[in-house]
Amino acid sequence: MTTPPLGDIAHIGHTQLFTPDLDASVAFCTDYLGLTVSGQDGGTVFLRTYDDYEHHSLVLTARDRPGLGRLALRTAGEEALHRRVRAIEEAGGTGHWTEDEPGLGKLYVTTDPDGHEHALYWESEHYRAPDELKPALKNQPQAKPGHGVGVRRLDHVNFLAADVLANAEFQQRVLGARPTEQIRLDSGRIAARWLTFTDKSYDVVYTEDWTGSKGRLHHIAFATDTREDILRAADLAIDTGVFIETGPHKHAIQQTFFLYVYEPGGNRVELCNPLTRLVLAPDWPLITWTEAERAKGQAWGLKTIESFHTHGTPPTA
C-alpha cells in the first residue's frame, strides 16, 4: 500500500444528512443556522454556509429515518485524487465513480470499515453569489447572513463506530489523516480518536458506539466566528424551540467551546468555536487521555454525554 503524502486531502467539502422531515430540517438550517439554499433536486436540498467557496456545504435528503449519508473530501489536485483511489484499492477497499452533485465533477465513492460512505473529488466550481447575496468584501464568497446563528463553515464530522481503531487507521493509512488526540480505556481499547487533514486540530472523529452498531452518526459540527456566537445560538434556540442537548460548554479534549442541539429530523448538530486552536507542529505528538481522565467529564465539570438524547429518546442516526 502506498504511503499517503500529507496534504492529499485538502479539506472536508460537505456532508449529507438524512431526515424524515425535510421541510422542517431545511427551515432549521436556513432560519436557525443561517445557511442558504443553493439548489434542490427532488427530495434533496443543497445548502451552503456563507464562507464556503463551493456550491454546497450540506446536503439534506428525505428518508424515513435520520442519519448520515455521504462525507465528501476534496483532494489537493487530480493526481492526489488518483493516489488516494489507488491507496484505497491497494488496501482492499472498493469504490465506484459517479457524477451526481451540482457544482462538482466526478466523485470516487467508497466506505470506511464501519460502512460510512466517503466520496473523494477534485473538480469543483467556485460559488458565484447572485446579486442579492453579493458581499461587500470581495474576499468573501457570500454576504454574511443577517439572521440566525450565521455559521461560517462545516467544521467536522464525528462518526460512531463499532471499531474505532480500524476506522481511524483507515483515515490515517489510506487517506493521510494525522491523529491528534485519543481516549484509551484501561483495557487498552481505543474508545475515540480525533484526526486532521489540515492545520485544524481535527476534521473527523471516531467515537465508540456502545451499542455495537455500524455506520451511525454522533454529530456534524458548524464553526462560528466567536464564542459569543455560541452563547447567542443558545438564546436563539430557546426563543425558537430548538432542542438543546447540552452546553454551552467547553470540551476538555481539543478545547472546543460548543453547544449541542438537535435538528427536527433527529440529527445531532454541534455549534463550535475552535478557530483559535491549530496544530502547526509537523511532529505533533498523539495526546492520549486515560479512562480516569475522561471520567472527569468535559472541562469545567460537565459529565460526558452519551450517544442518546438526554431526555431518553434514542436517536436512530
Q: Which amino acid belongs to residue 184? A: R
List pLDDT tens digits, range 4-53.
445 899 999 999 999 999 999 999 999 999 999 999 999 999 999 999 99
Structure confidence at residue 306 (pLDDT): 57
Q: 56 φ, ψ to 5°?
A: -150, 155
pTM above 0.85, yes or no: yes
In degrees, rounded to 5, the angle at the alpha carbon of residue 16 between the alpha carbons of residues 13 and 22 is 140
Structure confidence at residue 1 (pLDDT): 40
How far apart are alpha carbons 102 and 84 in whole angstroms?
A: 23
Locus of grid cell 460559488: 127
Structure confidence at residue 7 (pLDDT): 86
Calculate the alpha carbon distances from 278 to 197, 199, 291 in Å: 12, 6, 25
Average pLDDT over every residue of 139-145: 96
pLDDT at 301 over 90: no
Band (315; pLDDT cuts 50, 70, 90)? very low
- Share above pLDDT 70 across residues of the chain, in percent, rounded to a whole number: 93
DSSP state of 215: S
List pLDDT tens digits, range 79-130.
999 999 999 999 999 999 999 999 999 999 999 999 999 999 999 999 999 9
pLDDT at 2 over 60: no
List pLDDT tens digits, range 277-290.
899 998 999 999 99
Listed residue (248, 213, 111) closest to 167, CA to CA: 111
Q: 66 φ, ψ to 5°?
A: -70, 165
- Share above pLDDT 90 across residues of the chain, in percent, rounded to a whole number: 87
**Strands 117-121 and 67-75, how do they pair?**
parallel
Instruction: Tell me the Cα Rg of the chain.
Output: 19
List pLDDT tens digits, range 261-278.
999 999 999 999 976 789
Q: 184 φ, ψ to 5°?
A: -115, 125
Pull the grid cell for residue 211: 451499542
Structure confidence at residue 139 (pLDDT): 95
pLDDT at 174 over 90: yes
